[in-house]
Amino acid sequence: MKEKLEALKVEALAKLQEVTDPQVLNDLRVKYLGKKGELTEVLRGMGGLSAEERPVIGQVANLVRSAIEEIISTKQEAFQQQETLGRLQAEKVDVTLPGRSLPQGGIHPLNRVVQEIEDIFIGMGYKVAEGPEVETDYYNFEALNLPKDHPARDMQDSFYLTDDLLMRTQTSPVQVRTMQAMNGEVPVKIICPGKVYRRDDDDATHSFQFHQIEGLVIGSNIRMSDLKGTLNQFVKEMFGPSTGIRLRPSFFPFTEPSVEVDVSCFKCGGDGCRLCKQSGWLEILGAGMVHPNVLRMGGYDPEKYSGFAFGMGVERIAMLKYGIDDIRYFYTNDMGFVKQFKGI
Amino acid sequence: MKVSTGWLTDYISLEGVTAEELADKITTAGIEIDGVERRNKGLSGIVTGYVKSKEKHPDADKLNVCIVDAGQGEDLQIVCGAKNVAAGQKVPVALVGAKLPGLEIKKAKLRGVLSQGMICSAKELGLNDKLLPKELQEGILVLPENTEVGQDITKVLGLNDEILEFDLTPNRSDCLSMIGAAYEVSAILGRDLNLPDPAAELVEAGGTAADSISVKIEDEAFCSHYAVRYISGVKPAPSPLWIQNRLMAAGVRPINNIVDITNYVMLEYGQPLHAFDGDQVEGGTLGVRFAREGEVLTTLDGQERKLEPQMLVIADGVKAVGLAGVMGGLATEVTGETVNIVLESAKFDGGTVRKTSRQLGLRSEASLRFEKQVDPKAVIPALNRAAALIARYADGTVHEGIVQAGSDAVPDKILTLSLEKLNNYLGTELSLLEVKTLFGRLRFKCGDAAQGVVEVQVPSRRGDISYDVDLIEEIARLYGYDNIPTTLIEGVTTPGALTRKQSVRRELRRMLALGGYQEVMGYSFIQPEQSKLFPAFSEGSLPVKLAMPMSEERSVLRTSLLPQLLDIALYNTNRRQSDLALFEIGNVFFTDEEQLTRQPRELPVLGLLLSGSRTAKQWNMTAEPVDFFDLKGALESVFAYLGLTGRVVYEGDAPQDYHPGRSASIYLLAEDGRTRIGTMGQLHPELQRKLDLEDTYVAELLLQPLYDSARISLQYSELQRFPGMERDIAVVVDSAVPAGNLLTSIRENGGTLLQNVQVFDVYTGGKMESGKKSVAISLLYRHTEHTLTDEEVSEVHEKVVAALQQTFGAELRK
């Protein structure tokens, strides 16, 4: 009987070794190990064995069984692996085909720039103030030290609705309104972004509608040197840490002294390039110390308080920053244009 | 203002300073120099010559052969094509080897005749020939008869000169004169000034001026000073070349010695002058008065002007002879026959001059200066200076005395400046000595300082200085802004922040952009026709019109964002960009007043537009057209984001300009009722056709209600610990019953157990009875404290179903 078992083992192992088909493997498992399988058949004869032989043969039979089981399970695993491999092969996709994208919208480039500037000044402790686009003559001009017969107040240059109402030509009226609302309290630290309107013929650098951001600080000891420091910090955050500013004397009715502020060209670093017209400097801001008449009309005693103000054109900054050469693109809203301004 | 450095050196030494360096210094100190122009455009080898003879070229009709003495020892033979060349002329001659802009002169044969040089035109010499008489523009430049032969032309024409273009801000009208410019340069360079002394130069002779002319001012509020001199026996002729050269360098056309001298002195002193032909002034008198009703005046430019009573004129005993400060009259013009002149110098009111000049559309060098305020103390020196020059260069006899009305008396302007304020204002630490030195350079007289306060006397030429801060600016610009330190604000720190409204607006923008909507920006001005569209918000109000629009297209303030969103959609669709998801945030305007007397209403609005396909056609996707529910979904997302879900209802009430069956008004519910906050839907097919658009969906929302009610503080609510129980029902109702009403009823009856209701199918047609629809709804019940039993759910659910049956006659489908 032992020999029978050994022979069975040899035969089974040899056959199993050669199996290449999972179905055949299963058939062989049934053939050898099944309820009516050959091993079972052999073991049935164990009843005729003596009490001494039985455990010995039983042990042999178990060894044979486990040898066969082992090879079957090894084979099964191999087949399974193969099958998995085959399935994965079949599931392969062309990774170069395009995916389903998320919808892509975007924020208008001018608002992107406004938000960026707002954030810089918020970080410096400013609040954002806003006001109406239709203004009274008083807030748009008179309270800003432009009396009635001032040449800058020509009907030709502004969009009037009536003798007294006009589309604001600057966001400065918001400064006056804020000062009056503050009721003489200090400090005032605001920036005022918004649309403004001037009667200009549209061309590549002029638009009758455009955006300004103005800033106003009033306190008990605000100095021209603080204005320099503030704008210096702003341009570094806006245009890069290596940029700096230059102040040139200028004239605005609402500030005294008044200056034009140039930022060193962030493209060429000041060496001169097309962007800065070889000058190394870009003119981006007007600024100055708030005129005593403006302080007074805003409810502040110019002998006790001082302040500075600055203003910039959003379109101009966006054009410089993004390298845009025609202001009209901002209001044409060609998807090819506005959709370019996404990302960081 | 064009400032010649050559002319400047009459008053101040520019030694060791190039024109470019000077331009930089002036710009840094406050007046922007727009450019430096070299008058010599690269000329060499050009001399003055005398045309001895002119013969016709034997083989060319249009050419002449000239024999020219150019001081070269031998006469030159030069072929010249100019029509105006003639024997006896003095002309510029480019010798062989001479250089002109873009040209070098070589010996040449022209149609077989030798030419040893070229006779030059003004243009060939690089001059601005527009300032020359027409015949000199077309031909060669003819020089005065007394010109010496063989002189370097650049010297004769004063071309070794640079012109600085002063771009003056309105406050610096003091630099609309050479002397003003000299003061500025002197302050910047810290050098001495050498100014003319007209009174000393002037020799009076002949009779007393007052015997020939009298003057009067009707109202000194509009003319504070009117002064004239009477000059007899003048000989009008071309001015000496040096005057002509300087006028041309300044961009002024030379005319004759009298007129040229008035212009020259205006450029020198900034004080406009006018010369009348004394024999044409009737009644021996000149007065300053307002024009009479219906009065007309033919000005020097030959135009007849209808005058109005608020225009200031100069009148003789009979008629108006000039527009005060703007332009003289033709009748009293100085001509070649003029013998006696009345020379005027006056101070007219700037505002009056400006109004007259604007009203007539007539601007002149004089009006420009009067508008910006001239130095009241320049009236007399300029008058004397011009009289002296006319005596010298036009042989005039200046009669004794100045005839005048009003006066140049102005109170001394003395300002006090505290040194402490100056340093606090600028953030500097300037000493009293430094400050006084700077004022000294400006020629502002300084008193001694008492307790750190200086008294500063401001010269009359600086009308722009009225406050101590103006003095601070003078110090700052001369001291140099580069030298002012860079500091940070001291004192209380302030927290920076956005307001609630600003935060909500930013979040909306960000959310829509991330959701696929592109922000656009339109103009605030639209066509009148467009203001009639989408009147949901403006209903019962009037649009606001611009008083003087630039075009009809942009003449009314927008009453809705949608017309322009449609324009933008059309623009892009025409450029093959038709899958559009757009939004804009901006203000709309309207008023309740027939005649606007106060600011109109200005409401912030959100506009949305959808058209084309939801997704682009791709290998694994079809291009499905957008529909009503894409737009509604976007709005629902907005409301959900702002925490307003459940407070917003849609009502299919067909707002104007929308597809009546595919549009809705949007209401925000509040304790005390509901307000309409928007409209949405498909564009009305008629309008869509008219605008040539494809199917387009738009929406417009008032933002203020959203700013006010948006949830801005988030609150955690406990997680659900017990399982919910879902029940699905399908009810058959009349097609007209809005699904929203079914949901509202379900929510009302579902009580606190009902957690969620969702429509998952709507079915019409097919086996459905006509006029009916089946709506399948999924209901989720849940209790926060325990697992629900079947009985508990059924109790509520039956109530829900019963309500549907009762209210809507709903049949339950099994």
Per the CB < 8 Å rule, is A151 touching B170? yes
Residue of B nearest to A249 (CA): B30
Token look-up 């033919």 returns B298
CA dist B485 and B429 (Å) reads: 10
One-letter amino acid identity for B224?
S
Q: Which residue in B40, B53, B31 sits closest to B6, CA to CA?
A: B40
Contacts 24+ apart (CB under 8 A), B632-637: B632/B664, B632/B680, B634/B512, B634/B515, B634/B517, B634/B581, B634/B608, B634/B610, B634/B699, B635/B608, B635/B666, B635/B678, B635/B680, B635/B699, B635/B701, B637/B511, B637/B515
Token look-up 């003087």 returns B548
User: In terms of C-beta density within 10 A (0-12 exposed, 13-18 middle, 19 or more buried), how is residue B770 classed?
Assistant: exposed
Q: Which of B493, B496, B618 sits opposite A127 (nearest CB)?
A: B496
The answer to whether B608 touches B558, Cβ cutoff 8 Å, is no
Q: Which of A230, A258, A336 sits opposite B577 (nearest CB)?
A: A336
Question: Greater confidence, B228 or B71?
Answer: B228
| pLDDT tens per residue, range B663-695 | 999 999 988 889 999 999 999 999 999 999 999
Q: Does A199 contact chain B (CB < 8 Å)?
A: yes
Q: What is the mean pLDDT of chain B?
A: 92
Report pLDDT for A152: 65
Q: Does B114 contact chain A (CB < 8 Å)?
A: no
CA dist B775 and B797 (Å) reads: 16
What is the 3-class SS of B613-678, one letter each residue? ECCCCECCECCCECCHHHHHHHHHHHHHHCCCCCCEEEECCCCCCEEEEEEEEEEEEECCEEEEEE
Examine the pLDDT at B132 and tell me if it is beyond 90.
no
Pairing of strands A127-128, A188-197: parallel
Examine the pLDDT at B153 and tell me if it is beyond 80.
yes
Q: Which of B427, B515, B525 sits opposite A226 (nearest CB)?
A: B427
CA dist A106 and A338 (Å) reads: 8
Report pLDDT for A301: 96
Report pLDDT for B215: 95
Q: Which of A106, A228, A249 sits opposite B477 (nearest CB)?
A: A249
- Provide, as residue numbers in chain B, all residues whose Cβ is less than 8 Å from the Cβ of A103: 515-516, 581
Complex ipTM:
0.87
The answer to whether B599 touches B589, Cβ cutoff 8 Å, is no
Phi, psi of B15 (to 5 degrees): -60, 135
Phi, psi of A205 (to 5 degrees): -120, 0
- Provide, as residue numbers in chain B, all residues whose Cβ is less than 8 Å from the Cβ of A335: 518, 572, 575, 577, 580
Q: How far is B520 from chain A (nearest CA, A)?
A: 6
Q: How far is B127 from chain A (nearest CA, A)?
A: 27
Token look-up 């600086």 returns B462
CA dist A189 and A175 (Å) reads: 10
pLDDT category, B188, cuts 50, 70, 90? very high
Q: Does B477 contact chain A (CB < 8 Å)?
A: yes
- Largest Cα separation within chain B, whole Å, is 133
- Provide, as residue numbers in chain B, all residues whose Cβ is less than 8 Å from the Cβ of A133: 524, 587, 589, 602
Q: Which residue in B550, B531, B549, B551 sits closest to B541, CA to CA?
A: B531
Task: Work out the average pLDDT over B482-511.
Answer: 92
Report pLDDT for B646: 84
CA dist B788 and B781 (Å) reads: 8
The answer to whether A180 touches A300, Cβ cutoff 8 Å, is no
Report pLDDT for A60: 85
Number of H helices, E strands in chain B: 22, 40
Residues 587-606 of chain B with CB under 8 A from chain A are 587, 589, 595-600, 602
CA dist B320 and B528 (Å) reads: 46
What one-character-per-residue DSSP string does B107-137 give? Answer: -EEETTEEE-SEEPPTTTTT--GGGS-HHHH
CA distances from B658 to A96, A210, B306, B610, B689 (A): 44, 32, 55, 14, 13
Give me the residues paired with residue A311 across strands: A214, A286
Q: Which of B497, B502, B518 sits opposite A106 (nearest CB)?
A: B518
CA dist A227 and A217 (Å) reads: 9
CA end-to-end span of chain B: 94
Per the CB < 8 Å rule, is A159 touching B548? yes
CA dist B700 and B582 (Å) reads: 12
Write out the two tokens for B552: 């009809």
Q: What is the length of chain B? A: 814
What one-character-per-residue DSSP string does B689-735 give? Answer: HHTT--SEEEEEEEHHHHHHH---S----PPP-S--EEEEEEEEEET
Token look-up 């290449």 returns A20
Write out the two tokens for B635: 């709005």
Q: Which residue in B501, B773, B582 sits closest to A335, CA to CA?
A: B582
Residue of B nearest to A116 (CA): B506
Residue of B nearest to A198 (CA): B550
CA distances from B31 to B34, B75, B193, B250, B806 (A): 9, 51, 19, 18, 86
Q: Which residue in B384, B439, B387 sits closest to B408, CA to CA?
A: B384
CA dist A36 and B642 (Å) reads: 73
CA distances from A122 to A180, A190, A191, A226, B499 (A): 22, 9, 9, 17, 11
Q: Average pLDDT per run of 10 along chain A, which is 344 residues long? A: 83 87 87 84 79 84 88 91 91 91 91 97 96 95 84 77 94 95 94 95 92 96 96 95 92 92 90 88 94 94 96 95 93 95 81
CA dist A154 and A35 (Å) reads: 111
pLDDT category, B814, cuts 50, 70, 90? low
pLDDT category, B58, cuts 50, 70, 90? confident
Contacts 24+ apart (CB under 8 A), B291-294: B291/B320
| pLDDT tens per residue, range A238-292 | 999 999 999 999 999 999 999 999 999 988 888 888 888 888 999 999 999 999 9
The answer to whether B375 touches B271, Cβ cutoff 8 Å, is yes
The answer to whether B600 touches B571, Cβ cutoff 8 Å, is no
Q: How far is A74 from chain B (nearest CA, A)?
A: 42
Beta strands in B555-600 (DSSP E): 556-557, 580-590
The answer to whether B557 touches B524, Cβ cutoff 8 Å, is yes
Residue of B nearest to A200 (CA): B550
Per the CB < 8 Å rule, is B571 touching A228? no
Question: Greater confidence, B82 or B531?
Answer: B531
The answer to whether B72 touches B129, Cβ cutoff 8 Å, is no
Give me the residues paired with residue B172 across strands: none
Radius of gyration for chain B, computed over Cα atoms and rounded to the nearest angstrom: 42
Write out the two tokens for B447: 């008193």
The answer to whether B287 touches B344, Cβ cutoff 8 Å, is no
Q: How far is B479 from chain A (nearest CA, A)?
A: 11
Task: Work out the average pLDDT over B251-268.
Answer: 94
Q: Which residue in A249, A242, A240, A238 sits closest to A312, CA to CA?
A: A238
Q: Does B551 contact chain A (CB < 8 Å)?
A: no
Q: Which residues of A51-72 are buried (b: 16+ CB within 10 A; e: fewer)?
A: eeeeeebeebbeebbeebeebb
One-letter amino acid identity for B302?
G
| pLDDT tens per residue, range A168-196 | 999 999 999 999 999 999 999 999 999 99
| pLDDT tens per residue, range B549-585 | 999 999 999 999 999 999 999 999 999 999 999 999 9
Report pLDDT for B539: 87
- Provide, as residue numbers in chain B, all residues whose Cβ is less than 8 Å from the Cβ of A258: 473
CA dihedral B305→B311→B312→B318, nearest 10 degrees, is 50
Report pLDDT for A155: 66
CA dist B373 and B368 (Å) reads: 9
User: H/E element holding A40?
Assistant: helix A38-44
The answer to whether B363 touches B263, Cβ cutoff 8 Å, is no
- Provide, as residue numbers in chain A, all residues whose Cβ is less than 8 Å from the Cβ of B524: 133, 167, 195, 197, 209
Q: How many CA atoms lie within 13 A of B629 on its CB side?
A: 1
One-letter amino acid identity for B629?
F
Examine the pLDDT at B135 and tell me if it is beyond 80.
no
Q: Does B304 contact chain A (CB < 8 Å)?
A: no
CA distances from A244 to A126, A239, A321 (A): 21, 9, 15
Tally C-beta pairs within 8 A across A and B.
Answer: 237
Sign of CA dihedral B640, B643, B649, B655: negative
| pLDDT tens per residue, range B303-351 | 999 999 999 999 999 999 999 999 999 999 999 999 999 999 999 999 8
Give the percent of chain B with pLDDT over 90. 75
Report pLDDT for A32: 85
3-state secondary structure of A164: coil
> How remote is the C-alpha of B523 from its chain's centroid?
18
Report pLDDT for A151: 63
Give the percent of chain B with pLDDT over 70. 100
